[in-house]
Amino acid sequence: MIYCGIDWAEKHHDVALIDDAGQLLAKRRITDNAAGYKLLLDLLAEYGDTADNPIPVAIETSRGLLVAVLRTGKRKVFAVNPMSAARYRDRHGVSRKKSDPGDALVLANVLRTDMPMHRPLPADTDLARAIAVLARAQQDATWNRQQMANQLRSLLREYFPAALDAFTGWQNGLCRPEARELLKLAPTPSQAARLSRAQVRSALKRAGRSRRIDVEVDRLRAVFGGDYAHQPPLVEVALGKQTLALLRQLEAACVAADELARAVEEAFPQHPDAETICSFPGLGVQLGARILAEVGDDRDRFADARGLKAYAGSAPVTRASGKKHHVGRRMVKNDRLNHAGYLWAFSAITASEGAGAHYRRRREHGDWHAQAQRHLFNRMIGQLYHCLKEGELFEEHQAFPSSLAAAA
């Protein structure tokens, strides 16, 4: 048996091949381009790599062109966490020396000694991986949009509180097109107070609003014309220019989030698991795509539902030593899946009678809100594992039989 370890870097990669006895067979430094990838594949083939019996590879990253080349065929690629690799490095010496060829040798020895303890990259389909790219990008764009909105809100609090009062009642607040159009038209309170009815009406129409325009025009003009404190004129003008700069960034973030959301809506329904995922209460296209992106469609990725629950961070972790026994929240987890699970449980409370009854029962048991939601997510992701494994749709009476009986 031959094992390969690759120390990944931005411009070059160090490769080490060892045998069952830990003897170093070969080491190379390859470049991060097509020529370097070909040299790596030729080196693996020289030491017995075939399509039916490929040499397993350990590397410290799970993405990139090098990983894409290695994942072709049946090869098992193990993405070893750099922190875990650093712990393995201490097993081979106490001097704390470090080098790129030495790290490649450490990674190869990780597979030689502890391969069953590490999980290879899942064998997801290309469609699932494409959906994962879009769903994660849309999630990042949504977070960036909210971050930009928070920065803009913090700036408006310093000199333009009337804008915050005007947009508070709107869903998504500063991220709405109406709010952005009005701020571009009048970035300072002095300019907003001088807006005419026609200017406000035109701004709302440009933003796409078609109902209750006159009512909104009267309300906005009344708010903008209210009695508020003001910054000195020169400072107010400077803050208005800063607001316009932030608005351009917020506009780009909103456009990116909307375009990626449409891309997810086009790609996700094409996947065979989309119907099963969307049959669960609280899961729509966007949130369902995020769940699929992290869970994948490789049915052999998790041995049982407990593995998926631990991966999602919904299952508790136990720390026991002597007389001490502590059961607490799991900190090492897939943060994206855990975040999607929080939103899923929050929506399921009102979308499903059984989920709502389960949540209320946990609250009566003494859990606070986040604990009860995490417990609900833990139960529902176990049900999702079963439905995906068996190819079944969600059934309320089977998922929460006792809860529905108690509610009845």
Per-residue model confidence as pLDDT tens digits over 25-43: 999 999 999 999 999 999 9
Is 125 domain-assigned? no
* Co-location of 111 and 135 in the same domain: no
Residues 248 and 141 in one domain: yes
The answer to whether residues 97 and 144 belong to one domain is no
- Of the candidates 143, 340, 92, 362, the one whose C-alpha atom is nearest the C-alpha of residue 257 is 143
The pTM (predicted TM-score) of the whole model is 0.87
The answer on 323 and 208 residing in a single domain is no
Q: Which of 310, 301, 367 is nearest to 125 (CA)?
A: 301
- The answer to whether residue 122 sits within a structural domain is no
Strands 317-321 and 77-79: unpaired
The dihedral built from the CA positions of residue 79, 84, 88 and 89, taken in this order, carries a sign that is positive
pLDDT at 374 over 90: yes
- Is pLDDT at 176 greater than 80 in this prediction? yes
The answer to whether position 95 is within a domain reads yes
**82, 117, 152 - which closes a domain:** 117
Select from 117, 145, 165 the last residue of a domain.
117
Tens digit of each residue's pLDDT (9 = 90 or more) over 293-347: 999 999 989 989 999 999 999 988 888 888 888 888 888 899 999 999 999 999 9
Is the same domain home to 239 and 318?
no
Minimal CA–CA distance to 60: which of 94, 104, 29, 23?
104
Q: Range of 25's domain?
A: 3-117
Distance CA 389, CA 131 (A): 20
The dihedral of CA 82, 298, 303, 274: what is its sign?
positive
- Please indicate, yes or no, if residue 352 is contained in any of the structural domains: yes
CATH number of the CATH domain containing 90: 3.30.420.40
Structure-block tokens of residue 119: 């999980």
Q: Do residues 307 and 257 both lie within one domain?
A: no
The bridge status of strand 3-7 relative to strand 12-18 is antiparallel
What span, in angstroms and rounded, lies between the C-alpha atoms of 110 and 26? 17
pLDDT digits over 183-200, tens only? Answer: 999 999 999 999 999 999
DSSP single-letter state for residue 330: -
Q: How far apart, in whole angstroms, are the C-alpha atoms of residue 408 and residue 402?
A: 10
Residue 92: pLDDT over 80: no
Q: Do 91 and 144 sit in the same domain of this protein? A: no
Taking the C-alpha atoms of 326, 332, 335 and 341 in order, what is their torsion angle to the nearest 10 degrees? -40
Q: Name the domain boundary from 266, 297, 315.
A: 266
Stretch 97-116: mean pLDDT: 90
* Cα(65)–Cα(128) distance, integer angstroms: 18
Answer yes or no: do 202 and 279 share one domain. Answer: no
Beta strands in 208-341 (DSSP E): 317-321, 324-328
User: Does 190 lie in the same domain as 69?
Assistant: no
Whether residue 123 lies inside any domain: the answer is: no
Mean pLDDT of the chain: 91
> Are 172 and 153 spatial neighbours (Cβ–Cβ below 8 Å)?
no
**Nearest CA-CA partner of 16 in 26, 31, 8, 29:** 26
Q: How many domains does the chain have?
A: 3
Q: Please give the full DSSP string across 26-75, using - where no structure is assigned.
A: EEEEEESSHHHHHHHHHHHHHTT--SSSPPPEEES-S-SHHHHHHTSTT-
* Residues ≥6 apart with Cβ < 8 Å to 267: 127, 130, 131, 134, 289
Q: Are 376 and 355 in contact (CB under 8 A)?
A: yes
Are residues 159 and 54 both part of a single domain? Answer: no
Q: How many CB atoms lie within 10 A of CB 352?
A: 23
Residue with tokens 């992106």: 293
**What's at 107, amino acid-wise?**
L
Q: Are residues 246 and 280 in the same domain?
A: no
Residues 170 and 210 in one domain: yes
Considering the domain boundaries, does residue 124 fall inside one? no
107-120 residue pLDDT tens: 999 999 999 888 89
Any alpha helices (H) in 352-399, and if so which ranges? 353-365, 369-390, 396-399
